[in-house]
Amino acid sequence: MSESLLYCLIVLFGLAAIGTPIAYSIIIGALTYLFHKEYDLALVSEQVLQGLYESFVLLAVPLFIVAANIMNAGTISDRLLNFCVALVGRFRGGLGHVNIVASLIFSGMSGSAIADAAGIGKVIIEMMTKNNRYSPGFAAAITAASATIGPIIPPSIPMVLYALVSDTSIGYLFLGGILPGLIMGIFLMFMVAYKAKVNEFKSEDPVPLAKLPKITFEAIPALLLPVILLFGIYGGVTTPTEAAAVAAAYALFLASFFYRSLSIKNLYEIILNSSKSSASVGLIIGGAIILNYIVASENIPNQIAGILDDIQITPLAFIISVNIILLILGCILDATTLILVVIPLFIPSCITLGIDLIHFGVVVVVNSMIGLITPPYGVLLFVINATTGIELKDIIVEVLPFLSVLLIALFGMVMFPDLILWIPRMFGYNN
């Protein structure tokens, strides 16, 4: 490690430790490196601009953000929630199951765990804690745990970012996330069923059969969004980026004309909030681009690959080691930073060891999502604490059982790659 890189890392982690936004920390750390190397500081803007404008796939990120915000603001999420209550609310611990199923369905609209937790998750928490039916800690914990599913099932913003750094197919990544997302949901539902039996949680009143057709009809247009998305990509109609634009346009059409729940004022607020969110992600991406340039200049990926070759590590041992590192870092860093800054270090080693990049990508995205609920610094725990006022310590205590079953699911994905690759192979993927 060169002296310049050491200074860069000290500045980066030092600023992050005192609460500086991670994007600013990365950019200032990169500037420190270039200054110490006596490079032209204009190199920062050159690398960032080239990285952003040459990556057409990045346009999908703000478009998915817009689609998610429209879904939240246009009462579409409320109709989906009613559908989930009708579907699984009658089981013991009903609203816990509703929470999970809602996250599975809403994932097709948001692609963001934080959007899931702060949007429909907040509504479900209020439903669960009403009349003391469930403890606030339990309601918050299952909401945080189920929100991790959102970025696994398509569309997925983290997978778009992984595709950017690994040069893999977004479409196959989306397909690879379907079965793991369902497995995570099933594991969480088993835990809810167990907790419901132990704590004697009650079920919800069954929805009368006469109301089911209307509830289902109102939810079907929203449920079609992920179907339209994947059909567009694999039917050869759209590119993944164009599919994101279609998703945003479809969400706007539903909210404005079908459900008639979106005003001009609300649309303005949606565009404004989406712009802020996109700018925030863009800053992190820009910082990651220049940092990855520095990492490449220092030849770090090849050095790591050389070390792994010397110790003759097996592919399984490597992927397990990476997962342990990511679980530790996930306690401190957000998923976007992990995918854009840390994951590129391991990509050359994956290629050297013959590890499938689609399998690796889905595994690291799942790992990064689990990091969002890993104490003590899981981002989702703080998001829910801030939006609901539920004590952080209560959330942490209740989230640990759900965290354990998600880790079991992750281990299964590592050990059995076909859980991820089965659906992509059905659509022509050949690794």
Span 284-308, average pLDDT: 72
pLDDT at 361 over 90: yes
Residue, of 105 and 72, whose pLDDT is higher: 105
Span 120-134, average pLDDT: 74
pLDDT at 133 over 80: no
pLDDT at 118 over 70: no
pLDDT tier at 272 (50, 70, 90 boundaries)? confident
Span 310-338, average pLDDT: 81
Q: What is the residue extent of each domain of the chain?
A: 40-426
Task: Encode the chain in three state secondary structure.
Answer: CCHHHHHHHHHHHHHHHCCCCHHHHHHHHHHHHHHHHCCCCHHHHHHHHHHHHCCHHHHHHHHHHHHHHHHHHCCHHHHHHHHHHHHHCCCCCHHHHHHHHHHHHHHHHHCCHHHHHHCHHHHHHHHHHHHHCCCHHHHHHHHHHHHCCCCCCCCCHHHHHHHHHHCCCHHHHHHHHHHHHHHHHHHHHHHHHHHHHHHCCCCCCCCCHHHHHHHHHHHHHHHHHHHHHHHHHHCCCCCHHHHHHHHHHHHHHHHHHHCCCCCHHHHHHHHHHHHHHHHHHHHHHHHHHHHHHHHHHCCHHHHHHHHHHHHCCCHHHHHHHHHHHHHHHCCCCCHHHHHHHHHHHCHHHHHHHCCCHHHHHHHHHHHHHHHCCCCCCCHHHHHHHHHHCCCHHHHHHHHHHHHHHHHHHHHHHHHCCHHHHHHHHHCCCCC
pLDDT at 110 over 60: no
pLDDT tier at 91 (50, 70, 90 boundaries)? confident
Q: For tokens 């804690």, what's the residue? A: 129
- The one-letter code for the residue type at 311 is I
Q: What is the pLDDT of residue 364?
A: 92
* Other Cβ atoms within 10 Å of 349 Cβ, number: 23
19-33: per-residue pLDDT in tens? 777 778 878 888 888
Q: What is the pLDDT of residue 72?
A: 66
Span 162-177, average pLDDT: 87
Residue, of 146 and 2, whose pLDDT is higher: 146
Span 77-91, average pLDDT: 75
**Which residue pairs, CB below 8 angstroms and at least 24 apart, start in 81-87?**
81/120, 81/123, 81/124, 82/215, 82/218, 82/219, 83/215, 83/216, 83/218, 83/219, 83/223, 85/204, 85/207, 86/207, 86/211, 86/212, 86/215, 86/216
241-268: per-residue pLDDT in tens? 777 788 778 878 877 777 777 777 778 8
pLDDT at 111 over 60: no
| Distances in whole angstroms, Cα of residue 98 to Cα of each of 91, 94, 115, 124, 155 | 10, 6, 17, 8, 21
Q: Are 153 and 116 in contact (CB under 8 A)?
A: no
Span 324-337, average pLDDT: 78
333-348: per-residue pLDDT in tens? 777 778 888 888 888 8
pLDDT tier at 366 (50, 70, 90 boundaries)? very high
pLDDT at 234 over 70: no
Q: What is the pLDDT of residue 245?
A: 81
172-215: per-residue pLDDT in tens? 898 899 899 999 999 999 998 888 888 877 776 777 777 778 77
Span 286-301, average pLDDT: 73
Q: What is the pLDDT of residue 28?
A: 85
